[in-house]
Amino acid sequence: MQNNTNISEFNTETLELVNRIISRYPEGRQKSAILPVLHIAQSENSGWLSSETMDYVASLLQIQPIEVYEVASFYSMFNLQPVGNCMIEVCQTGPCWLNGAEDILAHFEKRLGIKPGETTADGQFSLKAVECLAACGNAPVIQVGIEYHEKMTTGKADELLEKWQSENKCSHTNPYL
Amino acid sequence: MAQQILLKNSDVPGLASFEVYRKLGGYASVEKTLKNFTPDQVTDEVKKSGLKGRGGAGFPAGMKWSFLDKSTSNPRYFVCNFDESEPGTFKDRHIGQLNPHQLIEGMILGSYALGARTSYIYIRGELFYVLRIIEKAIEEAYANGFLGKNILGSGYSLDLYCHPGAGAYICGEETALIESLEGKRGNPRIKPPFPAIVGLYDCPTVVNNVETIANLPWIMNNGAEAYAAIGVGNSKGTKLISACGHINKPGIYEIELGLPVEEFIYSDEYCGGIRNGNKLKAVVAGGSSVPILPAELILKTAKGEPRLMSYESLAEGGFETGTMLGSGGFIVMDETTCIVKNLLTFSRFYHHESCGQCSPCREGTGWMERILHRIENGHGTMKDIDLLVSISKHIEGNTICPLGDAAAWPVASAIRHFRQEFEDHVKLQKCPLSK
């Protein structure tokens, strides 16, 4: 897998962003910045949080590593295992289910040859079944990185897959930039 | 056409920019309020308007503000709850994406009323692209003197920031949101003390929903009386309804509270009727957690009166025959829908989203999901149906936060109104509606 790299530290530009975020919270409350900083760290570490990455975040925020682990393991957007270059998240909750979400998920499974929670052998795609993305009026909905794709059809899924394959799509980009 | 407070200029190109928003009269309420109103007068105005919290609980907003502890010299915080995650609800995204300045304008008014010098918009992490739109709008508001030090020369200063969540429905519960904002797991706190006394960083805090806050500019521009003149009974003002499911025109509608449900579902101005000319089977009127009602009870109360889109009318009959306005997440199901399968997706959702703190919720949501899975797939027994009812009763009221109730109500109500369909699954040993 190409995704086992670990960030050692952020570059200057990212550090400036992190410091700007930390400054939004009162003196001594820098722990508040943990979610935004974990989002950034995950994007810089190929879409997942290794323990080394979390330790680095702990050092940036001057908190104990366990404080980062317990938070990272609580929130569903953080991946604690390596993931593919492009993570496809398919909403499966009621309103999307009413409008054919199962067909969309099954189509991705068939096209990619993987089940939710798995990654293709070439490391390009991961599939994840997620809960309500709050876009129910345009169901069914999927999310890739910070993009939403709404009113999904199997045809649209094919078009997107083709596009992502040809451009070697990466969904792990710094969400702030 | 109903009065439009929140969607009025939605179609105007570039509304998300300061320039366009300002040309349409944006930020006038800040100019007026900082000049002519004391903070307590703003609170009084909001109280008089009758505005209720639009996140789901429907607690009067002005009253919530009035609980704020002003006896200490601690900082006070005003926090916007933009953790929109209740299945069926997608109205706040619309405001944040298309009309972010109206939310910011409301944040300034609320912060001024409460004496907050730093305020946060907590937005669910999946909506990072909306966060970026709001952050850009905040930058513009700073550049034009509506945020930052000494706003419009009033002496009042305010900093406003966005804070992303990271995928946790529970953080829409205000004390879990506060924990999350402090950089912790989103475990709800035991109340009391309420956030108005001990909130963010142990300081007095008010948390309000996006839509609640976006109403404030109109209220301050037009006065509490004008706002209270809209609507019916104690349901004042307009409400965003996000309609989805098997309707011809899913989308976000701003209604005057009191609109008949039948008109909302069938009129071309709103949902435009059921898809493919199908028959209406059931509606979940206020987000996945409120009780589901069969067609006959959503259109008319048990007394035979037309059901209205209002807090009171939807609740008419209690949970036996009524439901709740909730968040305004209006999920419509036609005759082809399997109620058991729909419920299974809801129960899986609550099981996934339970924070795990209270055992009735942590264990019970998992049991309910597994039993529903069994019934839907033809392995259920008649006893399973009663077991579901029993579990839902043992979760309800026995947890720190309302997630337990939110998980229990859909199960209890689906069995109350559609028991036959559960029994049919058991008898046929399969889903009668499966393909």
CA A67, CA B226: separation in Å to the nearest integer?
49
Written as six digits, the tokens of B424 are: 């049919």
Angle subtended at Cα A61 by Cα A60 and Cα A62, rounded to the nearest 5 degrees: 95
Identify whether B145 is part of a domain.
yes
DSSP state of B278: P
Average pLDDT, chain A: 95
How many domains is chain A partitioned into structurally? 2
How large a percentage of chain A has pLDDT more than 90? 94
Q: Do A135 and B185 touch (CB under 8 A)?
A: no
Contacts of B86 in chain A (CB under 8 A): 132
- When pLDDT is averaged across residues B373-398 and rounded to a whole number, the result is 98
Long-range contacts of B249-254 (CB under 8 A, 24+ apart): B250/A136, B250/A137, B250/A138, B250/A139, B251/A137, B252/A137, B252/B7, B252/B90, B252/B91, B252/B94, B253/B7, B254/B2, B254/B4, B254/B5, B254/B6, B254/B7
Check whether residue A162 and residue A90 sit in a common domain: yes
Judgement on whether residues A90 and A161 belong to the same structural domain of the protein: yes
Helix, strand or coil for residue B321? Answer: helix
pLDDT tens sequence across A34-79: 999 999 999 999 999 999 999 999 999 999 999 999 999 999 999 9
**CATH label of the domain that carries residue B269:** 3.10.20.600
Dist CA B174 CA B83 (whole Å):
10
pLDDT for residue A2 is more than 50 = no
Domain that holds residue B59: 18-228
Looking at the fold, whether A162 and A112 belong to one and the same domain comes out as yes
The whole-number pLDDT of residue A59 equals 96
Give yes or no for residue B231 having a pLDDT over 90.
yes
Q: Which of these three, B316, B334, B352, is where a domain ends?
A: B334
pLDDT at B435 over 90: no
Q: Which residues are B242's β-sheet partners?
A: B252, B329
Range A160-165 average pLDDT:
97
What is the distance between the alpha carbons of residues B353 and B3, in angstroms, rounded to a whole number?
A: 36
Which of A35, A77, A79, A128 has the highest number of chain B CBs within 10 A, making it the mutation to test binding with B? A35
What is the residue range of A126's domain? 86-166
Same domain, A23 and A94: no
Asked if B178 and B73 sit in the same domain, the reply is yes
Cα(B277)–Cα(B126) distance, integer angstroms: 35
Pair B35, B137 in one domain: yes
- The verdict on A97 and A59 lying in the same domain is no
Domain shared by A99 and A50, yes or no: no
Q: Answer with the one of B334, B356, B374 that is the final residue of a domain.
A: B334
Residues B96 and B218 in one domain: yes
Residues 6 or more apart whose Cβ sits within 8 Å of residue B163: A24, A32, A35, A36, B120, B121, B122, B123, B181
Which two structure tokens, joined as six digits, stand for B82?
């933009």
Question: Are residues A25 and A53 both part of a single domain?
Answer: yes
Among candidate residues B334, B362, B389, the one where a domain is terminated: B334
pLDDT at A1: 37
Of B90, B201, B109, B125, nearest to B160 by C-alpha is: B109
pLDDT of residue B194: 97
Residue A3: inside a domain: no
The answer to whether residues B188 and B55 belong to one domain is yes
Regarding whether A90 and A68 lie in a shared domain, the answer is: no
Q: Which pLDDT value is given to residue B2?
A: 81
Q: Collapsing DSSP states into helix, strand and coil, what is residue A113?
A: coil
Rounded to an integer, the average pLDDT of B405-413 is 98
B24: phi > 0 → left, psi -120 to 50 → alpha, else beta; which? alpha
- Is the domain of A17 the same as that of A63? yes
Alpha-carbon dihedral B348, B211, B24, A137, rounded to 10 degrees: 20
The answer to whether B127 contacts A75, with C-beta atoms less than 8 Å apart, is no
CB-based contact, B125 to chain A, within 8 Å: yes
Q: Please report the beta strands in A108-163, taking only residues with DSSP state E, as ranges in sequence order.
A: 125-130, 142-144, 147-149
Across B411-415, average pLDDT:
98
Is B185 a domain residue? Answer: yes
Instruction: Collect all residues with Cβ–Cβ distance below 8 Å to B282 and sequence separation of at least 6.
Output: B292, B293, B294, B295, B298, B333, B337, B339, B417, B418
pLDDT band at B290; cut points 50, 70, 90: very high
| In the predicted structure, residue A177 carries a pLDDT above the cut 90 | no
pLDDT of A142 over the 60 cut: yes
Nearest to A92 among B132, B181, B345 (CB): B345
Residue A4 pLDDT exceeds 50:
no
Domain's final residue, options A72, A96, A111: A72
CA distance A68 to A58: 6
With respect to residue A43, please indicate whether it lies within any of the assigned structural domains.
yes
Taking CB atoms and an 8 Å cutoff, what residues of chain A touch B127?
Answer: 134
Please tell me the pTM assigned to this model: 0.96
- Co-location of B79 and B56 in the same domain: yes
Residue of B nearest to A173 (CA): B128
A64 and A18 in a single domain? The answer is yes
Task: For residues B256-273, give the mean pLDDT.
Answer: 97
Closest CA to B298 of B289, B288, B287, B309: B309
Residues B328 and B350 in one domain: no
* Residues B261 and B131 both lie in one domain: no
Q: What is the CATH number of the domain that holds A121?
A: 3.40.30.10
In a domain, A177, yes or no: no
pLDDT mean over B43-61:
96
Count of structural domains, chain B: 3
Tell me the pairing of strands B118-123 and B159-164. Answer: parallel
Which chain A residue lies closest to B179 (C-alpha atoms)?
Answer: A32
pLDDT in tens, B330-349: 999 999 999 999 999 999 99
Question: Hey, are the CB atoms on B342 and A94 less than 8 Å from each other?
Answer: yes
Contacting residues of B for A176, CB less than 8 Å apart: 132
Residue partners of B378: CB distance under 8 A and separation at least 6: B425, B428, B429, B430, B431
Q: Do A46 and A96 belong together in one domain?
A: no
In the predicted model, is pLDDT for residue B124 greater than 70?
Answer: yes
In chain B, what percentage of residues exceed pLDDT 70?
100
The alpha-carbon gap from B222 to the nearest alpha carbon of chain A, in Å, equals: 31
Nearest CA in chain B to A66: B184
CA distance readout (Å), A29 to A25, A75, B95, B125, B187: 6, 20, 30, 20, 18
pLDDT in tens, B75-105: 999 999 999 999 999 999 999 999 999 999 9
